[in-house]
A and B are shown apart, each in its own frame.
Chain A
Amino acid sequence: MAITNSAGNRIINSIAGQTADLTITNTSNTASSSASNTISVAGSSAADAYIRYSISGVQQWTEGVDNSDSDAYVISASNTIGTTNALRIATDGIVNRPLTAGFLAVQTGSAANQTGDNTTFTFGGAGTITETYDIGSNFNTGTGQFTAPVTGIYLLSGSWFFQDLDAAHTIGGINFRVAGNGYRGWVGNAFNWAYPTSNFLIMNCSLVINMTAADVATFECSISGGTKVVDIGISNTWFAGQLIA
């Protein structure tokens, strides 16, 4: 059965290749001549005002006002507004994307004698690392690798905590490696930069980079010029990433 509105558009349609369509048209091309569709509930004690998109039996999306969530405007990947929110805009305009890929992992167990003789050390290569969060489960604590879930622009950040530097350690560098390519974050005379009595150095860097889905990012460091006695310290050694666009 087709239900047809007064403009001849079918709102329920079962004919292959045709569209079920609700059209709201204002034919006046003058200022303030708008065309709108209002979806309204009665007040704060009522339920939600929303639109639902459905591919029957496959996927549903809802968007609208989540009355039980401080009237935020949300886009949800489900048939229930507020469940599986992909986007949430609070009434003051603050935007969250609660399911967008992002992670933070911290070195929580030290890794002794990992570099100093030009050995490249990769975050996660020794000691214990712990995830603070991993939205989408794209970070591997066993390998220290972040795998991009979708093609996009990512912000990568990281920090190294070097311990037991000595005067021979005159070269230091930290970098991200994305899809096999190195992106330098800092290079310098490691010993000169280090605190003189405790012989430690904390350096961090960030990178905005385009990653293709399935590209892998890691965080690396190396200290050169001396022997392999430089430790990787805890807490101030970390690696983070976030899909930003």
Chain B
Amino acid sequence: MFGRRLLGILFFSLCFTFTGIGLKHANAAETLSIANNGSATGSVNQNSAGGWGGQSFVAVDDNFSSVTWKVGTEYNDKYHDDFKLYLRNSSSETIASSTIHLDTPIQFTSGLEVNFALDTPYPTTPSTTYQYIIEISDEPFSYALTDGGIYNDGESLGSAYDMWFEIYTDSTPPSNDYVMYYGNNPVYTPTNSYFSLPVVYNVCDSWSTTTDFYLYLRDDDDNVEYAAAKLLESCSGTVVFDSFSGNTDYTNTLHFAINSLVYSNEFINAVYTPLMDSSSYIHYYYPNGLYIDTGGGSGTTTVNFAYDVCADVNWASSTIYLVNEDSGNTGISFTPTSCTAAASMYFPYSQDLQLTFPASLSYQRSGVEYLSSSVFNVVFYSNTANVVWGDPETATSTSWFAKFTNEWYVKFLNVFPFNIPFLIRSAWLESSNTPLDSDLSFLVVADETGSVGSTFPKEWALSENDLNITLFSESMISQGSSTASDFFDKFRNFTKWLQIFGYVFGVLALAYKLVNDMTENQSDNI
């Protein structure tokens, strides 16, 4: 209990201590004085003069509509309510004025902007000189401009004073010159290669036939020039600036410039050492496509390929996948045991698999692809028809049994109930190639490959498109292991004989029971 009280006392003591420090700091601000230490000359549309904390001028459509005073130095005023703004011409005649009322005490913090809106916008004409005055309260003080309209540095003016500034409009029409980089940002370039940077420019306003205009690529930090400047042939157009990337990694913010006249937007150039070099490769052996005959039933085929990834020092933790370029499935994979080899991966298939898809071999590490082969076709095909009564495939088959099942007199062998097993089996096999009626399509749980997925609406997924997420698939369990796939294949075959055995055993047991029952009944009757 005592400990808690002690902690409480300590906590509140600390709070008061920090509050005291804060108040003391705030009081200290009131004693700051203001120093005028800048030029009093500015121009339309441009921040320029320093002075009483700094100021900027705002002109709209060549009309002065307001003047903004941007506080550069912290200032406190306890005595005045009103700030008045007068706009005067070079003859000191007031041509517009405005007043802003502020509650006392006035405390201007650095960066605060105080806007004086003129009662009526005042039109300006080029090459005309104006002055304006900021007057505090009703105590106008006149300070003459020094030579050239510039206040002397360090002149202390106290806390209540007026200031005169000279402003002028720029008689030079604005230039339309520009240079703009419009390529990728950031630009990623491998070392020891070239990057090409597209630039569009127009310097026709400044163009002169007696001056050479160069396009420079410069570093933002120290304005170091990258590569040789490019001589411009015309005053406007597009240029592709080519440069060698060098042999070291770096990331720099760059921009283009034309003769220090115009500067482009900034962009980031990242030069990196690529993981793979020109000696790295991954090749498959199937220039005409990989054809797999599934007619013989389920089995496993090999996908042969050769690779060299010795440039990657971490190749031991990598995996080479057979990627279905259509679905993105990466069920089949190979784990390298050396950085360069001719190897093969095992590809299980089943008889009812009729599929063609574009595939590639992908060298990946931690889910990131670093190298891939070109794309080739994987084609599953079967020359053996499933010989089943009623199966559509039998209609085109040339086997004697298929022909037999299509003969008219076979209808007379369709004796109920002995046609039931054929009916069920043929319906089952036909269902593998038949789509569900569109009205019932919502009942479909899994797709042809047995994957159960769900579509998440884009509003939930916070993405541009709806998101398809696989909830269950064989590859989730086998994890791309050919051993696991092999095991599942064998187990599936085993279940076939397990069911047949169970069926025969069941039939025999029931027959035995039936015979027993009948025999007992007969003996009872006797």
A binds B: no
Chain B interfacial positions (CB closer than 8 Å to A): none
Chain A interfacial positions (CB closer than 8 Å to B): none
